[in-house]
Amino acid sequence: MLLGSERHLTEWGASEAQRRVLSRILPMEPVSNENADELWTRRRSLFFKPANGFGSRAAYRGDKLTRRVWAEIVSQSHYLAQQLVTPGQRTVAATKGAATELMKYDIRIFTYGATPLLLVARIFKGQTTNFRTLGGGFASVRVCCPAERCA
């Protein structure tokens, strides 16, 4: 949440180049009793996740929320709201010679401290990644420099 805050980056002395890169982080805001009604009104365009969560545990798309679950989220006071971004899609052939099908993907960067360790794509159907779907799971990602042509 703080890395997406222009105010915090300025206070921390982030350079213009650093702020430009970090400006791609979607803004997040804490869910509280004070903003609960306004967030409920905008919920269809938001995604809600616990501040200390991981692996999609207890995370909710706003357009799927019920009033009961929303009341739990507000009462726990450790949730964040972020703009919902739908995953990209790719045509995938699960095995050589197989018919292609449309699957969703997202990109993940695994880090240790501030050092990126691994860049992967999660390929899936449905709502989350699973390793049972033929052709789903993790895929390698090749990073290309602008001057380089990717094949």
Task: State how far Cα 57 lies from the chain centre.
Answer: 13
Average pLDDT rounded to a whole number, residues 53-66: 85
Nearest to 143, CA basis, from 114, 110, 113, 120:
120
Q: What is the pLDDT of residue 95?
A: 81
Residue 10 per-residue DSSP state = H
Q: What is the pLDDT of residues 9-53, one digit of tens each?
A: 889 999 988 888 888 888 889 999 999 999 999 999 999 999 887
Any bridge partners for residue 142, and if so which? none
Q: Does the pLDDT value for residue 150 go beyond 70?
A: no
How sure is the predictor about 149, in pLDDT bands with cuts at 50, 70 and 90? Answer: low
Domains of the chain: 2-83 (3.30.1490), 88-140 (no CATH)
Nearest to 73, CA basis, from 63, 83, 62:
62
Q: State both tokens at 97.
A: 């010679």
- Environment class of residue 3 by beta-carbon count within 10 Å: exposed (0-12), middle (13-18) or buried (19+)? middle
- Between β-strands 46-50 and 28-30, what pairing exists: parallel, antiparallel or unpaired? unpaired
Average pLDDT rounded to a whole number, residues 71-78: 90
- Environment class of residue 123 by beta-carbon count within 10 Å: exposed (0-12), middle (13-18) or buried (19+)? buried
Q: What is the pLDDT of residues 75-86, one digit of tens each?
A: 987 999 999 988
As a whole number of angstroms, the distance between CA 129 and CA 108 comes to: 12
